[in-house]
Structure 1
């Protein structure tokens, strides 16, 4: 049985989606698990308060009034609220594990259909690195690629500037009406007029440290490949490269001097198997390899109850408290595959899934890409 998550059929359903994704402890992965489990966002919103009460928590549901107010603000700002599965949702982004159910889009949404390559790198980039990023973006634009980046200082800024003439997309860590860094205000305005901006955060949201990894997954998720230019070993660009690998995207890097700390990240990626590139032609050749363009529909290959590979042959019946305790004891801060968790616990897939959803809504666990789950310290 294949379960397909269909986009909202009307404004009322889209507001249900907005209420659900804005509800407490509901992230993108949990959002789709709730849709799969309850059949619709409206049904999930009805069930959440009771599940919260079982865990001694207050009602986690985002109010309908606030959802309506947010939707009105988005429209007045001139942006669109696009749901996964709708025609103008970025097609590749729809198929990452933690794709945002709703995305705010500002600018020319026709660019979202273009082949996209991301260029990312150091905020404190060298002059040569910035010149190279700008030139690569210009050249790739001439080959018909949309250039994606995160509107940060340094390499991101240069890549966006180089692609303004052909098209660029910026993923924003905060709200679409907030500029970060402040000195990129004019660039953000130019992208709004000559490119496209995307964000999953509410208008008015100021970027926080925890928002940037989420922004980075958008940069890699909308792209067929990610090019790293100058990145230290512990940097946002390396996080983007790792996310690209997890998402099945091409990872490319420009080599640099081993004496420059800004080159260590890219050099390490090459050692680990990323494609060494030195020109736009190298990037185009890499990205022109056969690439299976997935369908826009979000599907699940398991029945609505179990979300696991197979039903166990026999499980021992446990009362609710003992079941929750047994699951919690098997979890830790390191993410574990849910199928492995199922094999080690004494629960059916349906019961385990229900307990994990309750723990997520109680803020005790977090879902991670690859159907993995970890205990929050």
Structure 2
């Protein structure tokens, strides 16, 4: 399934990715079912109608695609689709990968061995010093350091790794500099590192964008190191996603008197490796010889049209509580490809949410 796309195919890929209710799981299923984005786009209205949608599905227009491509080109950014050879190998191994990314800067860094260093925005001076020094040592050991360009630990990690290579993953577009005081740091990352985003250029990040950003941070990395984090922290979401993706998770211990240590200490309590320096990180990833080249085969089923009865049986089994798609298959007793096709139609109709990791909920 690795293929270079023509300009027309890339436009179709982008239109499908920007279509309402088409997330990474639905996108993956549609490509598998129809073979390419153009045929999937042609089938969308009928699929959404069969899933129970009354109003028309909002599909990105040619004008919107033209604008996004022009905005990316003006920044010197590159659009990379998940099926293309340039797509980062580690990210392609996710189930499913993001359909596409925009990248600005040294794209070659995306396929080098990498470690994420993340943590609290309101970080202590000691925590920032540790993150900066850890990133510098990891860079000297040949690793790219990945983080989210946020205040505190993220910014310190980028600073430490700038001389050797760092990647900033953003929730907004590749030009969305947040916080504003990181404008200088952002410019240096673009010059000497790489900035990556799943969002369209010009988009300002909103709350729902950060879990997707965190998934990419974890997906690009062989290990995630959390330096400081409170118990309800986005850094802990990154750590959880990393564990789900089979990455190593490490945490820096801290004083029980500091709320910023509660999250990291709890990670260690749950089985994360303790990190006191770069040696601990290198030891944790020593057995990882790199990621096997993924087959990038899409998981849909060509030509399957579930009937109305099966589709409604599947819909009735859904609830706000996430359940695996395999559980839905077992409950219906129907062939898995037919159930997956029904879930895609329900997703397009806004009646189901297909989540990474094979989970599904009622929308």
TM tier, shorter chain? over 0.9
With over 3 angstroms needed to count, the CA separation of the structure-2 counterparts of 1:165 and 1:277, relative to structure 1, is same
**Greater mean deviation of Cα atoms: 157-166 or 362-371:** 362-371
- Figure out how many residues of one structure are paired with residues of the other and give that number: 360
Whether contact under 8 Å (1:119, 1:226) holds in the other structure is yes
Structure 1: 5+ residue runs without aligned partners?
Answer: 307-317
Whether contact under 8 Å (2:2, 2:85) holds in the other structure is no
Map residues 3-152 of structure 1 onto 2, 5 A cutoff: 5-54=1-50, 55-152=53-150
Map residues 173-184 of structure 1 onto 2, 5 A cutoff: 173-184=171-182
1:210 corresponds, among 205, 208, 211, to 208
The CA distance in 2 between the partners of 1:7 and 1:261, in whole Å, is: 48
1:349 corresponds, among 329, 336, 339, to 336
1:336 corresponds, among 287, 310, 323, to 323
The CA distance in 2 between the partners of 1:357 and 1:343, in whole Å, is: 17
2:251 corresponds, among 250, 253, 256, to 253
Higher relative contact order (CA 8 A, sep 6+): 2
The CA distance in 2 between the partners of 1:344 and 1:39, in whole Å, is: 28
The CA distance in 2 between the partners of 1:327 and 1:245, in whole Å, is: 29
Question: In the alignment, which residue of structure 1 is the partner of 2:159?
Answer: 161
Structure 1 runs of 4+ aligned residues shifted over 6 Å read none
The CA distance in 2 between the partners of 1:85 and 1:49, in whole Å, is: 24
Residue by residue, what CA displacement relative to the aligned partner does 1:82-135 show, whole Å, maximum 9, x if unpaired? 112333322101111242111101001121122100000001110100000000
Whether contact under 8 Å (2:315, 2:351) holds in the other structure is no
Question: In the alignment, which residue of structure 1 is the partner of 2:277?
Answer: 279
Residue by residue, what CA displacement relative to the aligned partner does 1:44-96 show, whole Å, maximum 9, x if unpaired? 00000122334212133211232122112211210000112333322101111
Question: In the alignment, which residue of structure 2 is the partner of 1:310?
Answer: none
Say which SS state the counterpart of residue 103 (structure 2) adopts: strand
Q: CA deviation at 1:374?
A: 0.8
Question: In the alignment, which residue of structure 1 is the partner of 2:231?
Answer: 233
Say which SS state the counterpart of residue 89 (structure 2) adopts: coil
Whether contact under 8 Å (1:337, 1:371) holds in the other structure is yes
Residue by residue, what CA displacement relative to the aligned partner does 1:311-367 show, whole Å, maximum 9, x if unpaired? xxxxxxx961x4333222211112111111111125443432232111101122111
Residue by residue, what CA displacement relative to the aligned partner does 1:215-264 show, whole Å, maximum 9, x if unpaired? 10111100000000011111000000000000000000111111111111
The CA distance in 2 between the partners of 1:118 and 1:305, in whole Å, is: 41
Please report the RMSD computed on the Cα atoms of aligned residues, expressed in angstroms.
Answer: 1.7
The CA distance in 2 between the partners of 1:203 and 1:302, in whole Å, is: 29
The CA distance in 1 between the partners of 2:279 and 2:111, in whole Å, is: 22
Question: In the alignment, which residue of structure 2 is the partner of 1:313?
Answer: none
Whether contact under 8 Å (2:113, 2:290) holds in the other structure is no
TM-score, normalised with respect to structure 2? 0.95
The CA distance in 1 between the partners of 2:19 and 2:91, in whole Å, is: 22
1:267 corresponds, among 265, 268, 279, to 265
